[in-house]
Amino acid sequence: MQDKNLKFKTQNSKLLKVLFIGDVVGKSGRRGVKEILPALRKERGIDLVIANIENIAHGKGISEPTVREMMGAGVDAFTSGNHVWAKKEGIFLLDNPEFPILRPANYPPGVPGRGMLEMSVKKQPVVIINLIGRVFMKDDFDDPFRAFDSLLKTAPKNAIIIVDFHAEATSEKRAFGFYAGDRAHLICGTHTHVGTADTVIVNGRAGYVTDAGMTGAEDSILGVAKDGIIAQFLTQLHARHTMVDAGAVIFNSVLAEITVGKCVKIERCDMILNKERG
């Protein structure tokens, strides 16, 4: 009986709880992370927190103060996407080893930053990979599917593999999920800012969601004030994007339980922070 109990404890010690937070948008998104994450992490026993932060600094790009703010709130690693280049001061952070920030790995050679991050969590090797899709995207990127294959060749053996697939088309995200699902442990889509309800374990191994969603102002259109966006659709004229910094905040994320062999559970972990702030 004692041997069985010891074995059970050993198995539990190898289980990692990973929280992936959808695109954090501006001041409202940062407030949501700061006020929700510390208690959530403690209550759910979360071992690793990853957040997409390409929109963290006033809606586009990153900055050192905003990244440090999220690190202070308990985020361990950061992924991004095509908007990470929006602020010049933030680009320099991508090459600074002090900041665990990724940009999509399938940008052409010579681009600042890295697309893969190796770390250790509970003595377990973890590899985080950031990729960007090509369907409906304005820029030309290398093939994310083959980029994933190449990156895996350099990953440590027995590492837990987590992927942020930053893409517009749901079909491309689903295709990648099935393509990589027998080799990755967690695949989270980002970019559209709308959380999807399709959390599932694909290929019997990888936790998957088409889009983790957004952490930002609830009364907005993807974090931006509604009036200007609606006017843009009505007139076809470009309108200035004004960020919503006050009011209720939605916190979109997924929580996965992962072992070395596979993801055993994945679920949405969404909340609303109903506090008015200036």
The answer to the question of residue 46 being in a domain is yes
**Residue 276 confidence class, pLDDT cut points 50, 70, 90:** low
Say whether 182 sits in a helix, a strand or coil.
coil
> pLDDT tens across 84-108, in order?
999 999 999 999 999 999 999 999 9
The DSSP secondary-structure symbol of 167 reads -
Confidence check: pLDDT of 186 > 70: yes
Higher-scoring residue by pLDDT: 11, 258:
258
pTM of the full predicted structure?
0.92
Whole-Å CA distances, 130 to 50, 145, 200: 11, 12, 20
Q: What is the mean pLDDT of residues 226-252?
A: 93
The answer to the question of residue 57 being in a domain is yes
If we measure between CA atoms, which residue out of 223, 116, 130 comes closest to residue 159?
116
If we measure between CA atoms, which residue out of 185, 195, 134 comes closest to residue 162?
185
Q: What is the DSSP string of 137-159?
A: -SS----HHHHHHHHHTTSPTT-
The answer to the question of residue 278 being in a domain is no
Spatial separation of the C-alpha atoms in residues 270 and 267, rounded to whole Å:
10
Is residue 172 within a helix (H) or strand (E), and if so which, with residue range?
Answer: helix 170-180
Say what the pLDDT of residue 261 is. 86
Number of domain units in the chain: 1
Residue 101 backbone dihedrals phi, psi, to 5 degrees: -110, 135
Say what the pLDDT of residue 12 is. 52
Q: Residue 6's domain spans which residues?
A: 2-273
Spatial separation of the C-alpha atoms in residues 206 and 113, rounded to whole Å:
27
CATH code, domain with 93: 3.60.21.10
The answer to the question of residue 55 being in a domain is yes
Q: Which residues are catalytic?
A: 83
The answer to the question of residue 256 being in a domain is yes
Please give the single-letter amino acid code of residue 210: T
Spatial separation of the C-alpha atoms in residues 203 and 275, rounded to whole Å:
41
The answer to the question of residue 118 being in a domain is yes
